[in-house]
Amino acid sequence: MTAHLSETLTLLLVEDDDGDAFLVEELLQEAAAPPRIFRARSLQEARTKLTPGIQCVLVDLSLPDATRLEALEEVLAMAPHAAVLVLTGLRDAHVGVAAVSAGAQDYLVKQDIDAPLLTRAIRYAMERKRADQTQLRLVQAELIAKENARTQRGLLPSPLLTSDAIEHLTRYLPGSGGTLAGDFLDAVQTPDGAFHVVVGDVCGHGPDEAALGVALRIAWRTLVLAGQTGGTLLRTLDTLLRAERKAPEIFTTLCTATIAPDLRSARMRVVGHPPPVLVRDGTVEVLEGGPSGPPLGIFPDAEWSVIDVPLGDKWSIMFYTDGLIEAAVGDRDELLGVDGLVGLVREHGAVDLDRLIRHAGTLSDDLAVVVVSRRTA
């Protein structure tokens, strides 16, 4: 009877007994696709031959420099990518069971081995290893998703708005890589009736940047509720950023606005950030006046100027991170840009957030958007 292996494998046989090694090698030659076999006579020799190219390891548990499960533990640590089958003697069958519990995919009793059994055991071990790795990836993905969701709840808080005079809409989307980054947003109404909004972006991607974004967002909310909305707020955020960042080159851009209680004007600071898009009495424009100053974390003595913006009776303001204007559009994957964004808003006649994001293009970076509008009767 001819044995069958589902693919040509690279296999390492860790066996000090020449007779047993010869038997295993001869049996494997009967397979339809005989594997490439490397042999090690000791655990020390196996260390030099356990490369990433080894897909399966057959290991004897009675080696000259390791015994019983010690040998298995060493092999599992050295080759986490490979399927592992344990070879035992007839008297050590119970050790084989313990080996499977310790992480081996299967065990074989040397006296019972024949060609079909050996090739079938290798094939099944490979499939079990693939299944184990798939399950591990699923568990890891689930854990990452839970961590991202937990962090995202910090990035996307419930706005503290006590009046219904303002309509407040937000969207937060990961870029094409799906990795959570440091974009953050928030909105707060203070007892004097003023509305405060922030959208920010910590440079870089990953959990450290996301955590830093959460810290900055919470600090912004705390400072606003404590009555600090001017230069003191930005200087405090700058100090916090420098204390919490993992590397000195990490900086943060943001746009923060305070809308007056009568809803007819706003004071904004554009801190190295893309300018907001304004819709006032049917006219779509980008905020003029240039940036208020550099991003946080660049210059220790930076100052940020105020941009006073008249709003009128009917208006909407869109704050966003650069993931929106860096979306790839068209066949040539050109960036949308600020002008393209303004053009889309004009084309739609208003800030239709979902439609706007859908038509913006392919996101390569995280995207955070806040739209605040004065409700009309």
Structure tokens at 327: 């979306």
Question: For the segment 34-68, what is each residue's pLDDT rounded down to a tens digit?
Answer: 888 999 999 889 888 988 889 999 988 888 887 77
Per-residue model confidence (pLDDT) at position 330: 62
The reply to whether 217 and 322 lie within a common domain is: yes
The reply to whether 67 and 189 lie within a common domain is: no
The reply to whether 366 and 287 lie within a common domain is: yes
Q: What value, to the nearest 5°, has the Cα angle with vertex 20 and ends 14 and 22? A: 90
Whether residue 99 lies inside any domain: the answer is: yes
C-alpha 61 chain-centroid distance? 41
Per-residue model confidence (pLDDT) at position 1: 39
The reply to whether 66 and 174 lie within a common domain is: no
Half-sphere exposure of 82 (CA within 13 A, CB side): 27
Per-residue model confidence (pLDDT) at position 41: 92
DSSP 8-state symbol, 287: P
The reply to whether 128 and 161 lie within a common domain is: no
**Rounded to an integer, what distance in angstroms lies between the CA atom of residue 103 and that of residue 110?**
20
Residue indicated by tokens 């509008």 = 373
CB atoms within 10 A of CB 24: 22
Per-residue model confidence (pLDDT) at position 377: 63
Task: For residue 69, give the CATH number of its domain.
Answer: 3.40.50.2300
CA torsion, points 134, 139, 143, 148, in degrees to nearest 10?
A: 40
**Backbone φ/ψ region at 21: left (φ over 0), alpha (ψ -120 to 50), beta:** alpha
The reply to whether 129 and 257 lie within a common domain is: no
Structure tokens at 358: 């859908």
Overall domain count for the chain: 2
- Measured distance between the N- and C-terminal CA atoms of the chain, rounded to whole angstroms: 86
The reply to whether 108 and 240 lie within a common domain is: no
Per-residue model confidence (pLDDT) at position 179: 55
Element (H, E) at 48: helix 43-49
The reply to whether 219 and 125 lie within a common domain is: no
Whether residue 66 lies inside any domain: the answer is: yes
Low-confidence ranges of the chain (pLDDT < 50): 1-4
Claim: this prediction has a pTM higher than 0.75: no
Q: For residue 203, give its domain range.
A: 156-374
- Give me the residues paired with residue 11 across strands: 37, 56
Per-residue model confidence (pLDDT) at position 3: 45
Do 228 and 190 form a contact (C-beta atoms < 8 A)? no
Closest by Cα among 166, 155, 357 to 257: 166
Task: For residue 368, give the CATH number of its domain.
Answer: 3.60.40.10
Which DSSP string corresponds to 298-355?
T-TT-----EEEE--SSEEEEEE-HHHHT-EETTTTEE-HHHHHHHHHHHHTS--HHH
Per-residue model confidence (pLDDT) at position 4: 47
Per-residue model confidence (pLDDT) at position 2: 42
CB atoms within 10 A of CB 360: 22
Q: In this structure, which amino acid lies at residue 38?
A: F
Q: Among 105, 137, 169, where does a domain finish? A: 137
Sequence-ordered list of residues with C-beta below 8 angstroms from that of 265, at least 6 positions apart, any chain: 259, 308, 309, 310, 311
The reply to whether 178 and 129 lie within a common domain is: no
The reply to whether 133 and 182 lie within a common domain is: no
The reply to whether 171 and 22 lie within a common domain is: no
